[in-house]
Each structure stands twice: as structure tokens, then as C-alpha cells.
Chain A
Amino acid sequence: MSAKFAVRDLDVFYGRKQALRKVSLEIPEHQITALIGPSGCGKSSFLRCLNRMNDTIPNSRITGQAFLDERDIYGTDMDVVELRRRVGMVFQRPNPFPQSIYDNVAFGPRVLGARQFGRLDEVVETSLRGASLWDEVKDVLHHNALSLSLGQQQRLCIARVIAVRPEVILMDEPASALDPIATLKIEDLMHALVEDYTIIIVTHNMQQAARVSEQTAFFMVDDDQVGVLVEYGPTREIFTHPRDARTEGYVTGRFG
């Protein structure tokens, strides 16, 4: 089991407020890792460190180290554009661009230089198939993406991400805005995608974490209201034999 990400002593600050303290963990390749914990525990902040989306928030600052395939994500030789191509992201609310379905999927290849990804039509089809959306939209490729249902929009966002052939897909509560059926489709999709990608999902839905993930990391705020990593391990153990009392309290539904 090789580590895709290795994070050591990561601290995240927004202005003076510390969001995460001393997080260290290794995330395995080609598995689904779930980040769980109550609201405000810093799990999304952690996720956004992995593709440096925190950089877009003014006054955000990190210390510690994070490596992708043993390359320092925050190193001077790391090209953020390249990092974000390799580490794609799916957001909490589906955010397709108000353009056609086709243009949404073609966005990444066009912006990053279409040639390296092959023929655009093929990229769009393969990506939409990869996101289990092709059959539903193949006749309406040039319709506005906002005309799709929320669940379809979210799968379109996944198609948009895989169009640039990332290695990792970060998912920030990807199903929290969706109904149960659409949620199920996203989860099925994750199981299919994990063949080719490393997936890290933030969720506050514990059943979801239990259903989809191989590894689970439990975050919580400590007494100073700073997020910490409480426990990390195989999902089965986190949910059946948690070592930490706080983890047990959370997964058995005593708080959260």
C-alpha cells in the first residue's frame, strides 16, 4: 500500500484563527478515504490543503508539510496549476458553469491545452461515460448545464474533473445537496472511479463514510476550538472498534 499523500504536522490558519493543528496522516493510493467529523472541525480545510485551494482564501496560511507522491505540495518547485490538474475537486454544491454540458466537460482540456488530452469529442464522451452521465445527456450535449437536475449536475462536475485525467479526486460533501437516489448514484460512481483514481471524500454523513470508504479519518475540535485529527485507520475499525472515546461517541451518534 503506497501513500499518495503524506501530511506531516499540518497547521492551517485563517487570519489569527487556527483551523487545524498538527495533522499527520498518509492517504493510500486507489482507495477511498473518508474525512468525517462534526461541522467546523477542519475536515474541509484539510481537504483544501491537498490542492492548495486554501490559497484562494485571503489571509490563509499553513505550516507543516504535505507531499503528493513524495513531492512537496507547498514547495517552490510545485506548479499550482499542475497540482490542481492532478488533484481534481468536486464541491459541496454542484457548480457547473452556466454553459453547455459539452463546454463544461471540455473546459479543462481547453484551458490546459486540448492537444495533450486527445480529440475533444472523445474526451467529452469518455468523461461523461466515466461519470455515468453519458446515456442521460448524449442527446442534449449543447443544452445549458443548469437545465440538469442537481444530481446530474454533480455527476457533470465529476465528468469535468476526470476530463483532465487527474490522479486524485477530492470530494467536499459531494452529496449533501442531493436526494437519496442521487446520493446513491454518486456513491456507486465512487466505487467505479476508485479503480483509476484516489478518492478523498469529506462527509458528515457517517453511513456514507461507512458505505464507501476503505479508510476513515475522524476530525474534531479540541478545547481551544482548533480542529485536530483524533483517529485514523481502516473504516471498519473506526466504526466497530474505535480506540478513542471521542470517536466512539461520534460514530455511535452520541454527539455531532
Chain B
Amino acid sequence: MMTSPVDRREPIKLGAFLIEWFVRLAGLSTIGFVILIFFFLLREGIPALFEVPLSNLFGTAWYPTFGYYGTIPLILGSLLVTLTAVVIALPLGIASAVFVREVAPNWVREVLKPLIEVLAGIPSVVLGFFGMTILVPAIRTLLNIPTGLTAFSGALVLAYMALPTIISVAEDALDAVPKSYRDAGLAMGATRWQTIWRVVVPAARSGIVTAVMLGLGRAIGETMAVMMITGNAARMPLGLDALFKPVRTMTATVAAEMGEVAQGSVHYHVLFGIGIILFLVTFVINLFAAKSIFKKRYRGGLR
């Protein structure tokens, strides 16, 4: 029997309609979850602002048992560990990316790339384990300091964790540099190294910035490994030797104390407040990363 065009189109239309809404809901739910999480954080964290005087909240002493909720040592601790990690990971990551993309023969590249992906998949608790048993004692004996549980140890492990991200994103950025730039550099009489450092790497700059931002985002949110090896002393990381003394990060504080805190207490609210700060920091970092990705695409479109 002949079916009219309307009959035939109806089920397709319904199917398309359902699929379209399923996809749309899936997409929107992501945004919804982010917003919900943020509001949850706000609901639980904002009361801290009313319960604790600001001078206390942004003071330098963190002794929750005695009513001191100074978050500054924790924020500085996070910054110290994270920024040191980036300072270590940045040159290593870019150099590795340059090696993988520009220097290594094809078969080495084929082996290295999946290996780097595997690195990214190592659970952080395993790295923390490794840090505790190998790195921490090594740093103690090498530097001859009372404990190897230091900001520096944490930074080393964080750098290691940020490296795979930095390498693979930076490598993609180098890969996107047109061959014509390399040709131009070489034809000018520049050596291969001069061409890499003065032409290819600068041309990939925005992608490399993205790589570093993403690595930074990964590092600042990392909890487990950091908690295991930075010593967790909530002291102000000031002075030149702060790097080689124990510190405590925001993430480690929340992870360590949230389990023992009375729900709805001042301490509980302050921990959520720390969560808000972390959220904002990673949000801003990701925003910068996204912006540089966008810029790169825009430029690519012009060519």
C-alpha cells in the first residue's frame, strides 16, 4: 500500500525530535551541573563569611580547633607548590614536545606518544606512594634537611603529573605550525635549531600557553599525591627556604579535614569556602586556556 509522504515523514520527525532533545539535554545538563555545584558550594561556604570575621578568615593562622581559620597559609601553600611545579614542568614539557615533534625519528615518536598518554593515566595515589617511598627520603638525604615532606617534593610530583598534558597539547601546537614557516627559516640560512627556537616555537606560542594553562589547572586541583608528600603543616610558606619545608595546600586541607568535621559547623563552612576559592582559581585558569585556544583558531582561519 502506498503511504502518503506525511505518514512516512512523521516517525522520522519524531525520532529526530527525540534525538535532538536528548542531545540538547545532555549538553545543557553539563552546564546545569556546573551551576548546581557552584551554588551548592556557595550555599555551604558563604555562611563562613558571616560566622568568622574577615580578619580571621584571611589571617595567617589555621588552627580550626581553636577557632583560627586563616586561609592565607593554605592559599600560599597551593600557589607555592603549583607554581614551582609549573616552573619545573614548563621547560621540560616544551623541550619534550620539541623532541617528540621536531627531533625524534618517526618510530621513536610512534613509541613516545602513547607512552606519554599512559603517563597521564597513572593514578595520583600511586604517584604519591612513589613520592613517599622514593622521592621524600631521597630529598631528605640529598639536601640534608629534617624531613623530605616538603613543598619541593610535592612540586616535583605535580610537575610530573602536569607533564603529559603539557607535552601532548604543546606537541599538537607545534604540529599545527605550517611547513612553510620551517622552509622559510631554513632557506634563510638558519640552522635546524634556530628554525625550531626562533620560528616554530614562537609560532606555536598560543598553543603552548594553552598547554601550560591546562597543566596548571591539573596541578592546582591535585589532592592525593600532594597530601601524601608535602607534610601538611599549615604554616606560612615565607622565607627563602619555604620551598624545602612542609606546607599544606587548599586541596589537602579539604580532603584531610572534611571527614572529621561536624556538618553545618563553622569549620565545615570554611572548608567549603576553600572549595569556592579553588573553583574560582581553576575556572579562571581554564578561561585563559580557552581564550588562547580560541585565538589560535581565529588566526588559523585567517590563513
Contacts and interface: CB of A to CB of B under 8 A. Distances in A.
Give the dominant DSSP class at B's interface.
helix
A98 interface: yes
How extensive is the interface on chain A, given as a class?
20 to 34
B186 interface: yes
Given A95-B178, A98-B299, A146-B299, A111 B190 contact: yes
A53 interface: yes
Interface residues of B, number: 21
B4 interface: no
Interface string B148-188: 00000000000000000000000000000010111111111
A84 interface: yes
A146 B188 contact: no
A58 to B, nearest CB: 9
Interface string A96-138: 1111000000011011100000000000000000000000000
B183 A97 contact: no
Interface centre among B184, B198, B302, by most chain A C-beta atoms within 10 angstroms, is B184
Contact of A56 (B186, B203, B299): B186
Nearest to A86: B189
B203 A111 contact: no
Contacts of B185: 97, 107, 111
B184 A146 contact: no
Nearest to A95: B180
B187 to A, nearest CB: 4
B194 interface: yes
Contacts of A93: 180
Nearest to A99: B202
A112 B183 contact: no
Interface stretch (A63-71, A157-165, A191-199, A200-208): A157-165
A66 to B, nearest CB: 16
Contacts of A13: none
A192 to B, nearest CB: 21
Given A53-B183, A97-B181, A84 B198 contact: no
A84 B186 contact: yes
B184 A91 contact: yes
26 contacts: A53-B183, A56-B182, A56-B183, A84-B188, A84-B189, A85-B188, A88-B187, A89-B187, A91-B183, A91-B187, A95-B178, A97-B184, A98-B202, A98-B203, A107-B185, A107-B188, A107-B198, A108-B188, A108-B189, A108-B190, A111-B188, A111-B198, A112-B189, A112-B190, A146-B303, A160-B184
